[in-house]
Structure 1
């Protein structure tokens, strides 16, 4: 059975799809069988997959399937057996699909940008996660990931403390605000392919390694 990671935040623009796709590709390039589930009706991950097939058919990127309905917890187990890892690219807004993703997830990653509104927007999700953990023996494990950080700013220095006050761990690994993320996603590829030695690729690899430790992954 695949390990299921849900990348969730009810606020749009936090980097959920960028993280989901690049993390999936990093695991795939390390030898894992990976599926991305696009649960957002906007379908950004599906758009990326279509662009990748058109412009990079030789690359064999991770498969992306659209399941933008509140039955994720029933449908993902039925298709997940062929994979080591399933990454759910979460929808914006806190609604039934998010609840369904929480039911099936083993791990939840919450990307948050370095601003107070972004932190506030995640708090309802955090409460739902804690409620779920209280009745299902601590599952799913959950952690914040700082997204699109601008190094050297006061906000970057303060974000960890602000997030830790809400009772979930914060990954040490994080992404910075880099144009290369947007450029590669728009072009149907990833930083792991176009810029494998770049700081952006190193950020994704660091998140992958921290996720392996956090979730006790053997792949």
Structure 2
């Protein structure tokens, strides 16, 4: 079975990238898919949010060649996680001088067998680690808040994806845009969403992730929203997103 690798990217921090990686992954798992989450962000927010220990090493060790990815994987609530660490900062610096520096993660993930989906939580920058994720990925998922500055950021992301597609990964495609932290009461949110629908070619998922207190609470308990409070709006929204995600090509 060949895994579908999905790079979850946004070059800004605090945009719901990690939240989307965790909770979309959890929702896919509950729909019967075997899912691996890869914490490629040196801040390791994904690993922290799921309270995943790194007793057998982290992704940085795999990049260094001292561990295989199978050795570091941790199982948590039905999900598998490749933990990140702050050491990825040093990895990023060292990769800059390497030949074929864009393909390290692709090689690493080729040894992660048996997963339906591999979701990669990328750093909040269009860096060499993000470039690795895009080179390894089949699809790109872009979580976006409905703010004016996100329009500029989206343009940068799509241009980067096109450059990677031409240079390293001809099969790469943007799966779609996920509207996150959505507040229908805000006029600006509705205006930005309408602008996107009228001016952006990429798919915008119908399943929007509403602002939800429970979503913010879940990491404090080391759980996805579906394991923390399955009746919350956050859980309902990510379940709907997962169903739509599976339904579209």
- Do they fold alike, i.e. is TM over 0.5? yes
Shift of 1:52: 8.5
Q: Paired residue for 1:189?
A: 223
3-state secondary structure, aligned to 2:124: coil
Inter-partner Cα distance in structure 1 for 2:206 and 2:28: 19
TM-score calculated relative to the size of structure 2: 0.77
Inter-partner Cα distance in structure 2 for 1:59 and 1:73: 24
**Greater than 6 Å deviation, 4+ residue runs:** none
Inter-partner Cα distance in structure 1 for 2:239 and 2:191: 24
Shift of 1:130: 2.6
The more displaced of 134-143 and 107-116 is: 134-143
Q: Paired residue for 2:205?
A: 171
Gap runs ≥5 in structure 1 = none
Deviation sequence 1:52-90 (CA, Å, 0-9, x none): 99xxxx9634121136456222211222x1211111011
Shift of 1:94: 0.8
Inter-partner Cα distance in structure 1 for 2:165 and 2:49: 33
Inter-partner Cα distance in structure 1 for 2:148 and 2:19: 21
Shift of 1:93: 0.9
**Equivalent residues of 1:115, 1:155 under 8 A apart:** yes
Q: 2:130 aligns with which of 86, 98, 103?
A: 98
Count of equivalent residues: 211
Q: Does residue 182 of structure 2 align to residue 149 of structure 1?
A: yes
Q: CA RMSD in A?
A: 2.4
Relative to structure 1, the CA distance from residue 126 to residue 59 in structure 2 (aligned partners, 3 Å threshold; closer, same or farther) is closer
Q: Paired residue for 1:10?
A: 11
TM-score calculated relative to the size of structure 1: 0.86
